[in-house]
Chain A
Amino acid sequence: MPEVRSPILELQGITKSFGGVEALRGVDFALLPGEIHGLVGENGAGKSTLMKIIAGVHTEFSGRFLIDGKETHFRSARDAHAAGIAMVHQELSVAPDLTVAENVFLGNQPTNRLGLVQWRRMAREAGEQLARFGIDVDPMTRLGDLPIGLQQLIEIARVLFSGARIVILDEPTSALSPPEVERLFATLRRLREEGTAIVFISHFIEDILLVSDTVTVFRNGRKVAETASAATSKGALIEAMIGRGGEALEHSYTDDLMLPQPSDSTVVLKADQLSLARSLKDVSFEARAGEVLGIYGFMGCGQQELSRILFGKLKPDAGTLAVEGTPKTFASTAAARRAGVALVPESRRDMLFHQEAVYKNISISILDRISSLLLKPTQERDIARRQVEQLQIRPPVVGLDLGMLSGGNQQKVALAKWLTYPPKLLVLCEPTRGMDVGAKNDVINIVRDLRARGLAIIVLSTEPETVLSLADRILVLKRGALVREFSNEPVSKDRLLEAA
């Protein structure tokens, strides 16, 4: 457009640190009215921190913050809301048991003079407003009865109706089907014409390129690129996101890594056409003894559900599992454990007993192997001591309550519970998330050692580094479907991101 528009929002030299760690370093950012501005960057690059500053969630930072050219300082999210800024968070925040109309008007239902809700008016207006965005539902339906994608569209619609001039969307498409994504984009384009400024954060670079006018790339708390969407490509953006310099101390996996020849050892687990509601579609793969199979994908791509199915915690709607050639339908996690499958979920809280001693945490999964009726505490402690020594768990006190250990040591305990009698298949979700470099290396070495002992291992992660550092073969899961297999070929972080 030829005319020069003045920015509706302008940030200058924004720096924000959390306890000495700089999350944003001197970032400039400007948003024009009637613009869709895409934001990309790896996890922890600073996108969310910046958006939370704009939305008034973080109020302590240095730098200038201007709205309509006037310097402003929000003291709370409420201030930001009053200034016409609204944000849709990644997780749904709707009330599934209320009607569509109630959700649309959540917090400001139209009332009559007596303070009673005017239901008919609310339903009519909600219907009209939703229709404007191409959503055709009965406003009196219970929201929870609608598909997740539609719920998300309604939540987004609610934010848009609030009269916001600046709308921030954080990963709005991860739960949407392709036609729903189309509908969302059509809505965004219409809003753009009405002059609303939109910030669109996504891992899906294609989506960003499709809908946004401008793209900004973040890396390590800095803005490293800002360009017109029409003038860039997926490859260029990924390169800007990852960077080629020696910025990171750790191995950055930016160079190609050669994956080995696929192993021809016995197939320990065969998954065939696994499907689960909206999470997984026809997922088939094999895991072999002495091999680490990496499964990479973005948050919400179906990894979590897949791991739960392998361990008998979720039942697939369709598809079969076979362990060493024998078909299995796991009625419970106990059945999966007996069949030789073990799972370490991404959340330690979910798999450990914080109020119990370390040795009880380690022995719980093998109690039926060491005692039929009576407990054998001496033997339990001996086994635990051996694991504690082998995995170098600190402090080396098996009688201590687990809650007293650091996060990294707790993660080792979570592994230790499966190692006394190793399973045939070990499924690890995000095995190194949130760990310091030392603990990370320890875990990586433990996993390699287990592979050498002939276990089949599946590592599911949203962090490309984790998958690249461990896997012999890599599958890429995208919106619930396997889209690419890397095997016996060079692979790197940008190749992975490209595939996902």
Chain B
Amino acid sequence: MASSETAFAEAHRARGLAPFLRSQMRNIAPFLTLIFLSAFFAFASPSFATLDNLGNILTQVSVTGIIAVGLTFVILCAEIDLSIASIANVTGIAVAYFTLQESYVNIANIPLPGAVAIILSILLCALLGLVNALGLTVIGIPSFIMTLAMMQIAAGISALLVRGQIAYKVPGLITTLGSGSIGGIPWIVIVAAIMLLGGHLVLTYTRFGRYVYMVGGNREAAEYSGLNVKLILGAVMVISAVCSGIGGMLGVAHFGSAQQNEFDTYLLDSIAAVVVGGTSLFGGRGGIGNTIVGLFVLGVLNNGLDHVNIDSFLKILIRGLILLAALIINVYAQRLREKAAE
């Protein structure tokens, strides 16, 4: 039986190389984009293709990468989280709020031991994620709207904590992980790598990861298979918020300050990284591997545009156009796949 099965599978594969390629479009397209962009910038600027610059790119995408881990889970479930940047911001501010600041910082904060500050901050972002989860699953607010509200709520908490001021000190551990390095490698890159790897392992090798894909693939079928769909959706919202919170704490240490609206660009960047990488907005397809490719596409693009002589205002437009192209490929790849499956 096993041998006939392999024979059949091989026959099937041989017959369908074109359908196979079509079905893999969402994985191939972002990779080709990455190679194309890298080749272009390497050709256009001698300073781009250097080991030093690779280190720069890695560091530049780290915070986005940490936030994008959780967002990948959410998008795989065919939901969205618009509160990631705000939650990152409020968690970064919270960890500074619970740390003793220099005397010239004019914030009425509550200094606590470092470990306590970190734990409280993580609890805060988990709690905000839980509110997202309850809104989505218990009340039934679409995630787009629920997290839009949470974006404001988290920004509001940030505003109340810092009141327009800037805090600088965070606990020692956070400072090290956010801005230190070991053996020449920045800690923040290592943390991002570990979290991406962890996310990948969870999605690929655990029962929960399988559930995430199945709920994203066909929510109705997941329910008819007796899965607790609401629990899984709730869990991904909390995971997303906690990843954002960690990204926010390390980001604050990385930038050297905690202030209002510090993470605004990370909302678009994180969503772009996940989607450009080829994870389907309709759920069930893609993964951390795609997100990593997406991160590099964005990283190379942002970094490369600095290396070539280009109007810095034009950069924004170019990023927008690249994102649009990726979205078109994303939707188109879904259609090709459906055709290949018929």
Q: Are B225 and A351 closer than 8 Å at their CB atoms?
A: yes
- Chain A contacts for B223, CB-based, 8 A: 313, 332-333
Q: Are A396 and B341 closer than 8 Å at their CB atoms?
A: no
A375 partner, pick from B1, B210, B341, B342, beta carbons under 8 A:
B210
- Chain B contacts for A404, CB-based, 8 A: 341
B9 CB within 8 Å of chain A: yes
**Complex Cα gap A313–B219 (Å):** 13
Q: Are B221 and A365 closer than 8 Å at their CB atoms?
A: no
Q: List residues of A (1-48) whose CB comes within 8 Å of B's CBs.
A: none
Q: Are A352 and B342 closer than 8 Å at their CB atoms?
A: no
Q: Are B206 and A355 closer than 8 Å at their CB atoms?
A: no
B5 CB within 8 Å of chain A: yes
Q: Are A385 and B1 closer than 8 Å at their CB atoms?
A: yes
Majority-rule SS of B interface residues:
helix
Task: Say how far A357's CB is from chain B's closest CB, in angstroms.
Answer: 11
**Complex Cα gap A345–B284 (Å):** 22
B205 partner, pick from A374, A389, A396, A397, beta carbons under 8 A:
A374
Among B66-74, B82-90, B226-234, B237-245, the stretch in contact with A: B226-234
Could you give, for residues 211-225 of chain B, a 1 whenever the CB lies within 8 Å of some chain A CB and a 0 otherwise?
101100110111111
B169 CB within 8 Å of chain A: no
The tally of CB-CB contacts under 8 A between chains A and B is 97
Are A396 and B225 also in contact (CB < 8 A) when A355-B341, A367-B210, A403-B342 are? no
Q: Which residue, A345, A355, A373, A395, has most C-beta atoms of chain B within 10 A?
A: A355
Are A333 and B214 also in contact (CB < 8 A) when A374-B206, A403-B342 are? no
- Chain A contacts for B8, CB-based, 8 A: 395-397
- Chain B contacts for A250, CB-based, 8 A: none
Q: Which residue, B5, B221, B230, has most C-beta atoms of chain A within 10 A?
A: B221
**Complex Cα gap A375–B207 (Å):** 5
Q: Are A375 and B224 closer than 8 Å at their CB atoms?
A: no
Task: Say how far A432's CB is from chain B's closest CB, in angstroms.
Answer: 18
B309 CB within 8 Å of chain A: no
Q: Are B230 and A332 closer than 8 Å at their CB atoms?
A: yes
A374 partner, pick from B207, B221, B226, beta carbons under 8 A:
B207
Are A333 and B226 also in contact (CB < 8 A) when A353-B214, A396-B1 are? yes
- Chain A contacts for B207, CB-based, 8 A: 367-368, 371-375
**Complex Cα gap A24–B210 (Å):** 49
Q: List residues of A (181-217) whose CB comes within 8 Å of B's CBs.
A: none
Q: List residues of A (250-280) whose CB comes within 8 Å of B's CBs.
A: none
Nearest-CB residue, chain A, relative to B224 = A351
Could you give, for residues 270-290 of chain B, a 1 whenever the CB lies within 8 Å of some chain A CB and a 0 otherwise?
000000000000001100000
Q: Are A360 and B341 closer than 8 Å at their CB atoms?
A: no
B224 partner, pick from A343, A368, A373, beta carbons under 8 A:
A343
B312 CB within 8 Å of chain A: no
Could you give, for residues 368-401 of chain A, a 1 whenever the CB lies within 8 Å of some chain B CB and a 0 otherwise?
1001111100000000010001000001111111
**Complex Cα gap A352–B217 (Å):** 10
- Chain B contacts for A371, CB-based, 8 A: 207
Q: Are B228 and A373 closer than 8 Å at their CB atoms?
A: no
Q: Which residue, B1, B5, B12, B224, has most C-beta atoms of chain A within 10 A?
A: B224
Q: Are A354 and B218 closer than 8 Å at their CB atoms?
A: yes
- Chain B contacts for A345, CB-based, 8 A: 224
Task: Say how far B235's CB is from chain A's closest CB, in angstroms.
Answer: 13
B307 CB within 8 Å of chain A: no
A247 CB within 8 Å of chain B: no
**Complex Cα gap A370–B166 (Å):** 52
**Complex Cα gap A385–B207 (Å):** 20
What are 16 sample pairs from A and B whose C-beta atoms fall under 8 A apart? A332-B229, A349-B221, A351-B220, A351-B221, A351-B225, A353-B284, A355-B284, A355-B341, A364-B222, A364-B227, A367-B211, A373-B207, A374-B207, A375-B205, A399-B5, A401-B341
**Which residues of A are interface residues toward B (Cβ below 8 A)?**
311, 313, 332-334, 336-338, 342-343, 345, 349-356, 360, 364-365, 367-368, 371-375, 385, 389, 395-401, 403-404, 417
